[in-house]
């Protein structure tokens, strides 16, 4: 059978096939060829890249999460090891000196509060392996009530355990309420440059009467009881209220003096300046009979008590409070460093 070269279909077919092949090549080169299912190749590649990137991010986040969790639990384990009792009974199974720190202001809401100090003192006196108890004091004073609680408990524990001596060792300062507590000890030691004393009582404040007058501000204070607004800083100080408060301070001062005399006894020298509120160096305090000797806590333990090992019985703040405090100190230090660089 002969072919008709004039057939238009036969003439068009090679041209169409060549055009289709060229279009396919161009689509493949452009990355837009649609595979089975109708999804272009470039979209599939984009989806694959996004999925791969997401998996990598998940793995990276998981690794960092594991790292920080491990770091936290490691820190928690270290804290537990450091604060875990040395034996089953919660005490130390060998001879030692029980040390209790009184650091900072003595107040109900401070680290050096009566409840914590009394708990530490009771634990120290009741531990049969504690051959002596040592108060390491670095305090400017504070509440006479809190100091009085601790003083009374020391006297009680000393009466129950007459063979266990209590030593007070001053580091930088032992003033006012700090010395109130120290005077209950059997012996007091300090460094030659320590600050000791300040046996007195004070109450301070401010008066803004003239400032209010200059500003033209009127103070309106309503009270039930003629003395309820006593010592109001925006009103003039009356002589009656001044005398009343002075009498109260004098009574507390006499209580302080009586406590010191009871604790120190005949060791105190007859010098009225001792109770005037003055503060003395360690050398001066030794001459006045306010302390019994010069030395550090290690010196007292090693050379006087004759026991080298010192064990800390101080009641530590709750773990969370300590962590927050440490974080605050770290942030403050960092802020200070940045500020120092900025200005």
Average of per-residue pLDDT values in the chain: 82
Amino acid 91: pLDDT: 56
pTM of the model: 0.68
Domain spans of the chain, in order of start: 35-84, 96-329
Strands 279-281 and 195-197: antiparallel
Q: How far is CA 161 from CA 179, 182, 259, in A?
A: 22, 18, 20
CA terminus-to-terminus distance, the chain: 103
pLDDT band at 253 (very low <50, low <70, confident <90, very high): very high
pLDDT at 7 over 60: no
pLDDT band at 83 (very low <50, low <70, confident <90, very high): low
Amino acid 73: pLDDT: 76
157 vs 242: CA distance, rounded Å: 39
pLDDT at 160 over 50: yes
pLDDT at 49 over 50: yes
The 10s digit of each residue's pLDDT in 108-142 is: 999 999 999 999 999 999 999 999 999 999 999 99
pLDDT at 4 over 70: no
Residue among 200, 199, 201, 202 nearest 289 (CA): 199
8 vs 97: CA distance, rounded Å: 117
CATH architecture for residues 96-329: Alpha-Beta Complex (3.90)
To 10 degrees, what angle do helices 239-264 and 144-160 make? 20
* Angle at the Cα of 297 from the Cα atoms of 292 and 301, rounded to 5 degrees: 90
pLDDT band at 168 (very low <50, low <70, confident <90, very high): very high
115 vs 151: CA distance, rounded Å: 12
């Amino acid at each position: 059978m002969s072919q008709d070269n004039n057939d238009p279909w036969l003439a068009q077919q090679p041209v169409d096939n060549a055009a289709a092949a060229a279009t396919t090549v161009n689509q493949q080169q452009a990355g837009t060829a649609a595979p089975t299912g109708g999804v272009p190749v470039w979209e599939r590649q984009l989806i694959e890249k996004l999925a791969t990137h997401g998996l990598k991010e998940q793995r990276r986040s998981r690794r960092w999460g594991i790292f920080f969790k491990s770091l936290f639990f490691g820190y928690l384990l270290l804290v537990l090891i450091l604060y875990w009792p040395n034996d089953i009974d919660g005490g130390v199974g060998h001879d030692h000196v029980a040390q209790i720190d009184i650091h900072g202001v003595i107040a109900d809401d401070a680290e050096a509060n009566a409840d914590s100090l009394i708990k530490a003192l009771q634990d120290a006196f009741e531990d049969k392996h504690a051959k002596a108890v040592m108060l390491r004091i670095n305090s400017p004073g504070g509440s006479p009530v809190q100091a009085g609680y601790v003083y009374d408990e020391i006297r009680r524990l000393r009466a129950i355990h007459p063979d266990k001596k209590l030593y007070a060792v001053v580091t930088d300062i032992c003033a006012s309420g700090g010395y109130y507590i120290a005077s209950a000890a059997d012996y007091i030691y300090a460094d030659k440059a320590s600050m000791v004393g300040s046996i007195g009582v004070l109450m301070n404040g401010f008066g803004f009467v003239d400032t209010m007058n200059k500003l033209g501000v009127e103070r309106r204070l309503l009270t039930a009881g003629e003395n309820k607004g006593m010592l109001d800083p925006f009103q003039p100080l009356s002589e009656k209220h001044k005398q009343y408060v002075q009498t109260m301070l004098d009574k507390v001062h006499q209580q302080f003096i009586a406590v010191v005399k009871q604790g120190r006894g005949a060791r105190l020298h007859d010098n009225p300046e001792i109770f005037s509120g003055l503060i003395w160096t360690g050398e001066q305090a030794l001459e006045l009979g306010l302390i019994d000797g010069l030395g550090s806590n290690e010196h007292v333990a090693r050379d006087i008590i004759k026991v080298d090992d010192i064990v800390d019985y101080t009641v530590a703040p709750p773990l969370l409070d300590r962590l927050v405090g440490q974080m605050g100190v770290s942030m403050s230090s960092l802020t200070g460093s940045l500020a120092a660089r900025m200005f």
